[in-house]
């Protein structure tokens, strides 16, 4: 079965303008153009659009989706299983947040008071789970179970520490974006980036070593998932972060 651009837009619940934009950025090309010059989409394009909308539901950036779906290694069955796993994680996160929200509402109504630690437990627990799912195998292989399990230290953070960690992460993100937009990255900027990153990881590491810090920085380029995450913050952010850490810590 074939669809015009308007028919596919109606079927998928998106605008025809969106489909035209997807065509422009080489994300979703039509099957063919008819004699009148209108875009015509087939079943292959319908299936591809479904994948795109799954990625969008998971808040994946469009430029990242283009890269993922145009890679030679892209496989439909594998990608569907990934969508399923990620959506299950998102569902679990929402359930945890709803539970905390319900407890907070009851507490506000005069019910049992919530501890400040409980208010943030779901946020920290979900972050640990996501890190383990995405990077656990590689990091455990590199640093051992004891080091990785120290991430549970996140669960012990006070409200003040948790908020401070978020502030540091925001400052690090801003520094990476500024460095990405700069023609020259100074030694002082690299040192500031390294110190911010060190402060950030120390909220989850029980002990610190420069060698471990350098090894983690290397993973940011060696592992595509790390690289994709940081490059989603700013262009070449993974490389900037790794270079800053190595230049600062290696004499």
Other Cβ atoms less than 10 A from the Cβ of 154: the count is 20
Residue 55: other Cβ atoms inside 10 A: 21
- The pLDDT profile of the chain, 251 residues, written as one tens digit per residue, is 899 999 999 999 999 999 999 999 999 999 999 998 999 999 999 999 998 998 888 777 888 888 888 887 777 777 777 778 777 777 877 777 787 777 778 777 877 776 665 655 655 555 555 554 444 444 445 545 444 444 455 555 676 787 888 899 999 999 999 999 998 999 999 999 999 999 998 887 777 889 889 988 988 888 777 888 888 899 899 999 999 999 999 97
pTM for this structure? Answer: 0.46
Of 90, 169, 168, 163, which Cα lies nearest the Cα of 129?
90
Termini Cα distance of the chain: 64
What are the residue ranges of CATH 1.10.1660.10 in the chain? Answer: 3-62
Instruction: Indicate the burial class of 160 (C-beta count within 10 angstroms; 0-12, 13-18, 19 or more).
Output: exposed
Q: Which fold is adopted by the domain 3-62?
A: Multidrug-efflux Transporter Regulator; Chain: A; Domain 2 (1.10.1660)
Length of the chain measured in residues: 251
């Amino acid at each position: 079965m074939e669809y015009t651009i308007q028919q596919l837009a109606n079927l998928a619940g998106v605008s025809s303008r969106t489909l035209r934009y997807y065509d422009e950025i080489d994300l979703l090309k039509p099957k063919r153009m008819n004699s009148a010059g209108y875009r015509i989409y087939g079943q292959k394009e319908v299936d591809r659009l479904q994948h795109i909308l799954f990625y969008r539901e998971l808040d994946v950036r469009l430029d990242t989706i283009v890269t993922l779906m145009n890679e030679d290694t892209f496989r439909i069955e594998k990608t569907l299983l990934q969508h399923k796993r990620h959506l299950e994680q998102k569902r679990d996160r929402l359930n945890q947040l709803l539970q905390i929200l319900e407890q907070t509402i009851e507490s506000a109504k005069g019910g049992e008071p919530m501890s400040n630690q409980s208010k943030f437990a779901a946020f920290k627990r979900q972050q640990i789970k996501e890190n383990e799912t995405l990077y656990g195998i590689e990091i455990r292989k590199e640093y051992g179970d004891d080091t990785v399990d120290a991430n549970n230290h996140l669960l012990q953070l006070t409200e003040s520490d948790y908020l401070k960690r978020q502030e540091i992460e925001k400052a690090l993100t801003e520094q990476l974006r500024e460095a990405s937009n700069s023609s020259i990255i100074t030694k002082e900027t690299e040192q500031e980036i390294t110190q911010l990153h060190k402060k950030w990881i120390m909220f989850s590491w029980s002990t610190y070593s420069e060698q471990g810090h350098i090894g983690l920085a290397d993973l940011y380029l060696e592992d595509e998932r790390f690289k994709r995450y940081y490059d989603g913050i700013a262009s070449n952010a993974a490389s900037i972060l790794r270079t800053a850490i190595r230049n600062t810590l290696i004499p």
